[in-house]
Structure 1
Amino acid sequence: MKKIGLLPRLIIAIIIGILIGSYLPEMFTAVLATFNGIFGNFLGFAIPLIIIGFIVPGIGDLGRGAGRTLALTAMLAYGFTVFSGLLTFGVGSNIFKYILTPGSLSIGNVDNPEHSLVEPLFVVEMAPVMGVMTALLIAFTLGIGIAAIEGNGLKKAMNEFQQIITKMITAIIIPLLPFHVMGIFANIAFAGQVGEIMGVFFKVFIVIILLQFTVIVSQYLIAGTVSRKNPFSMIRNMMTAYFTALGTQSSAATIPVTLGQSKKNGVRGFVADFVVPLCATIHLSGSTITITACALAIMVVNGMDVQMMDFLPFILALGVTMIAAPGVPGGAVMAALGLLQTMLGFNDVLISLMIALYLAQDSFGTATNITGDGAIAVIMDKLTKKEKKEAVTA
C-alpha cells in the first residue's frame, strides 16, 4: 500500500468506508468508530508535542542567516501567506453561503439525533501532557529565546525532538490516516450524510484551485512589476516545478527543480540558493489557502458562526505556525491542528473531517507553495541588486 501513494490510498479508504457504512451491519462501523476514537485520542495527545517539536526549531532557525536578506525574505513569505489566507476568507465567506448549505451537516452535533454517529465500542483515554495554548506559548517562548541568544545546546536538543515527532508523523500518523478516513466516511455514510460531504469536497476543491491560481498570478504580477520581467513567461518557466510538486507532495523534494527554474527566470545563483530552500520551509501560501477554505467550509456546513474577527487572528497565527510545517505530506495541517481547536473551536470530529479534506488537496497546495517560492526569489534578486548598488554609491 505504501507504493500506491497517500492520495490514492485516501480515495480507496473513502470508497471502502462509504460501502461499509451504507451496506454492512452497524457492528462494522462501530469497530471503525472504536479505532477512530483511539486514533483521535492519540492525535489529541500528540498535538501539543507536534506544536513544540516544530515551532521551536522553526522560529529558532530564523535567528541565523544572512541578516537583512533573511528578514526581507521572511517578511515577503509571511506577507504572501497572510494575503492568501485573507483572500480565501473574503472569497469563501461570500461564496460558500451560496454553493454550500449552511447547517446541512451538523456532524457530531448532539442536537441533531436524526444523523447521529455510531458510538465506539470502548474508549482509551490518552490525556495530553499540556493544553494546546500552553504548548503554543512554550513553543513561541523557546523559539524566540533560541533565536535571541543563539542557544546551540537547546537548539540541538529541539532539532532532535523535531526528528522524533517527524518520525511519529511519518511512521504512525500518516500511515494510519487512510484507516481513520475510512472510519469517518463509514460513520458519515451510516448517518446518511455522505452525499452532503462529497458535495462539499467537490465544491471546495474547485474554489481552492481557482484561489491558488489567482494567488500565483498575483505573486508573479508583483514579481514582474519589481523586476520588469514578463510575469506569464516566469510562470511558464515554473510549471516544471509546479508539476513536480504535484507528484511528490513535498516542497523539500522539489527544491532542486525550483532552484533550476528560478535561475531560468534570471535569479542569480547565490540568491536562489539562499531564498528557495528557506521559502520551502517558511512560505506556504497554497497550504494556507487550503486550510482556510476547508475550515471555513466545515464551519458553514456545520452551522457554526463565521466571523472575520475569529478568522483574522487565526490567519495571522497560521502564517507563523506554517513555519513549523514539516516537509511531509499533510505536515501543514498537522501544524495547524492546535489553532483549529483553540481559535475556531473544532472538536475531534471536525478535526478529522479537516484532515480528510486537506489531504485530498495537499498536493495542489504544495505546488502553489513552491511556485510562489520562485516569485519571492525574483523579488529578492531585484532587492539585493538595489542594495548592492546603493552600497557601492555610498
Structure 2
Amino acid sequence: MKFKIGLIWRIVIAIGLAIVLGVLLPKIPTIGAAFTDWFVSLAATFNMIFGGFLNFIVPLIIIAFITPGIAKLGKGSGKLLGLATAFAYISTIVAGIIAYFSATALLPGFIGSLGDGKVEKAGRAAAESFFELEMTPIMGVMSALLLAFVLGIGMASIGSKAMLSVFEELNVLIEKVIAFVIIPLLPFHIFGIFLNMTYTGEVAKVLSVFALVFVMIIVLHFIMLTIQYTIAGSLSKRNPFFLMKTMAPAYFTALGTQSSAATIPVTLSQARKTGASDKVTDFTIPLFATIHLSGSTITLVSCSIGVMLMNGMSVEFSDYLPFIFMLGVAMIAAPGVPGGAVVAATGLLVSMLGFDQTMVALMIALYMAQDSFGTATNVTGDGALAIIVDRFTDSDDTKTNLEPDQY
C-alpha cells in the first residue's frame, strides 16, 4: 500500500523543519553564516518564482471556475435556484461579518501584547532572492471577475453549449495545474517563508498568533452553525440540536475528506433525514457544495485580519466590507481540492487588502491549518440552508415522518 502524507501534515513538517534549520544552521561552526545566508536566499528565490506564478494564475482561476459556475446556474428552476443562491450568499456574508467583528475584538490586544520586546530578534534583515523574474498576469483580478460574470451570464442567457464546453475544459485544465503544481509546491513555499522569519527572529510572534486564531476560528464555526440551525429549526418548527445531530455524519466525513464535493453523498443522505423535501435537497445540496462556503469565509476573514494586524495594517470595517462581499462571489471559484478556497481568494487579498508575497504565504499556512474544519462547517451548514429553502418553496413531497423529539 502506498503511504501518502496529507497536505496539512506536509505544511506542518515544512514549518517545523524551517524553524529547526533557521535556528541550528547559524550555530554549526562547520557551516557558518555564509552558507546560512546562501541557503535562506535560495529559499527566497524559490518563493519569488512561486509567488510570481501564483499571481499569474489567479485571474485564470477566476475565469475558469466562476464563468462555467454562473453559466450552469442558469439551468436551474427559477424560484428554487434564486432562493438557494440568495440564502447561500447571505449566509456567507453574515459569516464574514461575524468573523470580522470577532477578530477585531480579540486579536488586536493579543497581537499588541506580543510587541518586539516579547520576540527575540536576530537583528538581520530578510533575505533577498538571487534575481528577480517578472510574471505579469494577463489581467487584473477585478477585470477577471467582470469578464467571468459577463461571459457566465451571457452563456446562461443564450444557452450556449459550445462556449460552456470550452470553459468546462479550461476549468479541468486549471484544476490540474492547482492539484499537481500549486498545491504540491505550497509546503516548499511556506518552508521558505518560515525559514526567512526564523532567520530574522519573527517566528515566535507568528506562531503565537497562529494558536489564538486557530482556536477562535473553530469557536466561530460552531457559533455560525448554531445560528444557521436555530433559524432553520424556528422556521420548520423542529429541534435545532437534533437537526445538527442528524447532520453530524456529514461534518465528520468532511473533516476526513477536506472536500465539499466528496462529501455530497453523505450530506444529501443526512439532509433528507432532517425533514426537508427530496425535491429541495436533491437540487440544493450539490449546488450549496459549490456556492455556500460560510466556514471557509470565517477562516479567510479571521486569518487575513490576523496577518494584517501582525504587519501593522489598518482593518477598518468600511475597507473590509467590500472585501467580504467580493469574497462571497470569489468563493464560487474555489477549486474542489484542499486549500482551493484560499488559492481562489489570493487575488482579492492582493488587490483589495494589499497583501504581499510573505503575507499571502502566512495566510495560506494559517488557512490550511484548519481547512478541514472550514469544509466541515460548509457542508453541515448546507443542511440548514436546505431546510430554510424548503420552508420558502411550495413542495408536495415534504417529509413529515420525523421522530417526536425532532420537533
Q: Does residue 1:120 correspond to 2:129, yes or no? A: yes
Amino acid at match of 1:97: P
Q: Is the 8 A contact 1:102 1:302 kept in 2?
A: no
Q: Does residue 1:32 correspond to 2:43, yes or no? A: yes
Deviations for 1:290-349, whole angstroms, at most 9, x for unmatched residues? 000011111111100111111111111111111121111111111111111111111111
Amino acid at match of 2:286: P
Amino acid at match of 2:38: M
Q: Distance in 1 between matches of 2:136 and 2:111?
A: 35
Q: Is the 8 A contact 1:20 1:29 kept in 2?
A: no
Deviation at 1:150, TM superposition (A): 2.3
Amino acid at match of 1:160: E
Aligned residue among 334, 340, 355 for 2:349: 340
Moved more, 232-241 or 260-269: 260-269
- Counterpart of 1:67? 78
Q: Distance in 2 between matches of 1:296 and 1:115?
A: 26
- Counterpart of 1:15? 16
Change (3 A) 1:189 1:62: same
Q: Is the 8 A contact 1:279 1:373 kept in 2?
A: yes
Q: Does residue 1:384 correspond to 2:373, yes or no? A: no
Moved more, 266-275 or 310-319: 266-275
Q: Distance in 2 between matches of 1:214 and 1:2?
A: 36
Q: Distance in 2 between matches of 1:342 and 1:244?
A: 35
Q: Distance in 2 between matches of 1:2 and 1:341?
A: 36
Q: Is the 8 A contact 1:48 1:130 kept in 2?
A: yes
Amino acid at match of 1:176: L
Change (3 A) 1:104 1:141: farther
Q: Distance in 1 between matches of 2:292 and 2:60?
A: 22
RMSD: 2.0
Q: Distance in 2 between matches of 1:342 and 1:35?
A: 23
Aligned residue among 289, 298, 317 for 2:326: 317
Q: Is the 8 A contact 1:51 1:139 kept in 2?
A: yes
Q: Which has the larger radius of gyration?
A: 2
Q: Distance in 1 between matches of 2:58 and 2:315?
A: 24
- Counterpart of 1:109? none
Q: Is the 8 A contact 1:104 1:303 kept in 2?
A: no
Q: Is the 8 A contact 2:235 2:388 kept in 1?
A: yes
Deviation at 1:250, TM superposition (A): 0.3
Q: Is the 8 A contact 2:14 2:190 kept in 1?
A: yes
Aligned residue among 191, 195, 208 for 2:200: 191
Q: Does residue 1:170 correspond to 2:179, yes or no? A: yes
Q: Does residue 1:79 correspond to 2:80, yes or no? A: no
Q: How does 1:27-176 map to 2 (within 5 A)?
A: 27-101=38-112, 104=115, 114=123, 116-176=125-185
Q: Is the 8 A contact 2:277 2:395 kept in 1?
A: no
Structure 2, unaligned stretches of length 5 or more?
A: 26-35, 399-407
Aligned residue among 202, 218, 221 for 1:209: 218
Moved more, 35-44 or 96-105: 96-105
Q: Does residue 1:359 correspond to 2:360, yes or no? A: no
Amino acid at match of 1:67: G
Deviations for 1:113-135, whole angstroms, at most 9, x for unmatched residues? 95521111223332222222222
Q: Is the 8 A contact 1:48 1:128 kept in 2?
A: yes
Structure 1, unaligned stretches of length 5 or more?
A: 106-111, 390-394
Q: Distance in 2 between matches of 1:52 and 1:102?
A: 42
Moved beyond 4 Å, runs of 4+: 102-105, 112-115, 386-389
Q: Distance in 2 between matches of 1:163 and 1:354?
A: 25
Q: Distance in 1 between matches of 2:106 and 2:396?
A: 43
Deviation at 1:388, TM superposition (A): 9.0
Q: Does residue 1:303 correspond to 2:312, yes or no? A: yes
Q: Distance in 2 between matches of 1:355 and 1:369?
A: 18
Q: Is the 8 A contact 2:122 2:201 kept in 1?
A: no
Q: How does 1:213-252 map to 2 (within 5 A)?
A: 213-252=222-261
Moved more, 282-291 or 267-276: 267-276
- Counterpart of 2:286? 277
Deviation at 1:103, TM superposition (A): 9.1
